[in-house]
Amino acid sequence: MNIIVVGLSHKTAPVEMRERVAFSPTAMERPLKALLDLPNISEGLIVSTCNRVEIYAAGKETEVSAARLKRFLADYHGIGLENLESHLYEFQGIDAIRHVFRVASSLDSMVVGEPQILGQIKTAYGYAAEFKTVGLILNRFLHKAFSVAKRVRTETGISSNAVSISFAAVELARKIFGTLERKRVLLIGAGEMCELAARHFVNNGVDSVLVTNRTYERAVKLAEEFQGRAVPFDDFPDHLHQADIILASTGAPNYTLQHRQVEDALRQRKNRPMFFIDIAVPRDIDPRVNDISNAYLYDVDDLQEVIQANLKERQKEARKAEGIIEQEIVQFHQWLSQLDVVPTIVSLRKKLEEVRRSEIEKTFSNLKNLGSKERKAIEAMTSAIINKVLHQPITVLKQARNENSGDNYVDALRTLFDLEPLQPPDEMPDKMPDDGGTEINGLSKPRHKG
């Protein structure tokens, strides 16, 4: 059994193609059930976001299964595979594990370190769990991916530096004021950028929000969203002194906030600092404001410089994260590789023991005069023969369990000896005999942690 990933992302497909293969988050049952109808696919889930669509599956015959998953994506959305295939990627085994760990840790995101992707994978896993399309392998795999992502965020600074204009503004404001508690923000404009910045400010402790806009109704609506207060556009200079942080983003062709108005506001504030963020193009705030004592003005270019510096820092932290992921890959792959090997060893020993026991009983029934001593000698001899016979195949299986050849040996043994179907790993005994009747070193019962 192996992990298989098939999908596309912002790195391989334009938005027009990503839109065509996207799955509706409110209608996941049908595609998930259809996924499990594919031959050799035993478990599956679908991650569908604006930047990626990926299928995570557990199955056998990975090359063939990957091709079936590609065909599934094309057929489900009514797209010719010849048009879709050039945008698709596939990963198997260790490469699939690495890819999902990197995606969950946001190392594969458009903005490295962004937190949204982890929540989106958790949502996808929730649907798959609800519709029962994940089992032991993907349950364990996804929970491991979540813990890896948490470890990356805990042990690195990959998400600690602002890489959006709105959050960079918050970061700068914190540096100026130390804390944003009991601070008031004035939004000049009520567009998307102002709304996003206001959300960041409120989430970081800002006490109250004033909103002004040429369309007063829009100002009222945005103010209500943050439990703030709307100010008529013509009157906002009279309220300027009340704000510690002023964020401007209008479509005005000329300066909305003049040098003189800021000087008046600072006098009323008795020169308590004011922080100005001008994210409008053309600019809303007279750049001479930055010459005023205790007035700190940043425009879009200033914020971009902060973002670029922070991106470099994130890249450094990303290299640390890659090291963490490589450690975790080894651990999970070892667990995965044992799932088929250990029960195969158990089944093989059980099969040969049944043969031995059957033949012993026939022999004893024909040799009724055998004494206890002779019977024990025959028992010991036949057990030794079984151990000798088992020694080489079990040694090879144990050596191959961490290699790509492991599945081939498992399949060959199960076919040659007509072994019973694989026992679910969480029903396996904690201790299993090896070729000499002792425990298999380093192997214990895989526990379902999903």
Specify if 346 maps to a domain.
yes
pLDDT for residue 10 is more than 80: yes
Task: Specify the pLDDT at position 448.
Answer: 33
Model confidence at 224, pLDDT cuts 50, 70, 90, reads very high
Residues 416, 345, single domain; the answer is yes
pLDDT at 407: 61
Which pLDDT score, from 0 to 100, does residue 120 have?
Answer: 92
Mean pLDDT of all residues in 292-307: 87
Q: How far is CA 72 from CA 80, 180, 181, in A?
A: 11, 51, 52
Distance of CA 345 to the CA centre of its chain: 34
94 and 218 co-located in one domain = no
119 burial (CB, 10 Å; 0-12 / 13-18 / 19+) is: exposed
Residue with tokens 């019977």: 375
User: Which pLDDT tens digit goes with each residue over 265-288?
Assistant: 999 999 999 999 998 878 899 999
Domain range for residue 42? 2-158
Rounded mean pLDDT, 289-302: 92
Which two three-digit tokens encode residue 37?
Answer: 């109808």
pLDDT score recorded for residue 309: 75
DSSP secondary structure of 102-118: HHHTTSSSSSTT-SHHH
Contact of 298 with 173, CB cutoff 8 Å = no
Q: For the ranges 141-150, 358-367, 389-398, 421-430, which has the lowest average pLDDT?
A: 421-430
How many CB atoms lie under 10 A from the CB of residue 274?
Answer: 23
Q: Residue 97: what pLDDT?
A: 94
Q: Report pLDDT for 265.
A: 97
**pLDDT above 50 (res 357):** yes
Question: Is 132 found in the same domain as 82?
Answer: yes
From residue 449, alpha-carbon distances to 158, 200, 381 in Å are 27, 36, 42
Tell me, yes or no, whether 187 and 294 share the same domain: yes
In the predicted model, what is the mean pLDDT of residues 430-447?
A: 34
Mean pLDDT of the chain: 85
C-beta atoms surrounding 188 within 10 Å = 30
Residues 380, 404 within the same domain: yes
| Domain match, 273 and 148 both | no
28 domain-assigned: yes
Residue 436 lies in a domain: no
Contact 181, 239 (CB under 8 A): no
- What 3-state DSSP class applies to 214? coil
What pLDDT score was predicted for residue 68? 96
User: Domain containing 90 — which CATH number?
Assistant: 3.30.460.30
51 and 181 both lie in a single domain: no
**Beta pairing class for 274-278 and 41-48:** unpaired
Contact 303, 279 (CB under 8 A): yes
- Rounded to 5 degrees, what angle do the CA atoms 169, 122, 108 make? 60
Find the mean pLDDT for residues 303-321: 80
Flag whether 314 is in a domain: no
> SS3 for 316?
helix
Residues 180-213: tens digit of each pLDDT = 999 999 999 988 878 888 888 988 899 899 999 9
Residues 6+ apart with CB under 8 A from 423: 343, 346, 347
- In a domain, residue 323? The reply is no
Altogether, the residues listed in the chain come to a count of 450
150 lies in the same domain as 169: no
The predicted-structure confidence for 393-412, as pLDDT tens digits, reads as follows 878 777 766 555 556 677 67
- Of 127, 109, 7, the closest CA to residue 56 belongs to 7
Q: What is the pLDDT of residue 307?
A: 76
Give the confidence band of 318 by pLDDT, cuts at 50, 70, 90.
Answer: confident
How far apart are the C-alpha atoms of 343 and 347, rounded to whole Å?
Answer: 6
Are residues 382 and 345 part of one domain?
yes
Q: What is the three-class DSSP state of 22?
A: coil
Residue 175: pLDDT over 70? yes
pLDDT category of residue 450 using cuts at 50, 70 and 90: very low
Bridge partners for 223 per DSSP: none
Q: What is the pLDDT of residue 435?
A: 41
| Active site positions, annotated | 50
CATH number, domain with residue 277: 3.40.50.720
Q: In terms of domains, do 153 and 7 share one?
A: yes
* Burial of residue 416, with CB atoms counted within 10 A of its CB: 0-12 exposed, 13-18 middle, 19 or more buried: exposed
CB 2 within 8 A of CB 92: yes
Question: Using 50, 70 and 90 to split pLDDT, how confident is the model at 52?
Answer: very high
Mean pLDDT of 21-44: 93
- Residue at a domain's end among 250, 275, 308: 308
In a domain, 225, yes or no: yes
Number of folded domains in the chain?
3
Residues 364 and 255 in one domain: no
Distance CA 253, CA 251 (A): 6
pLDDT digits (tens, 9 = 90+) for 79-98: 999 999 999 999 998 999 99
219 and 153 within one domain = no
Structural domain contains residue 58: yes
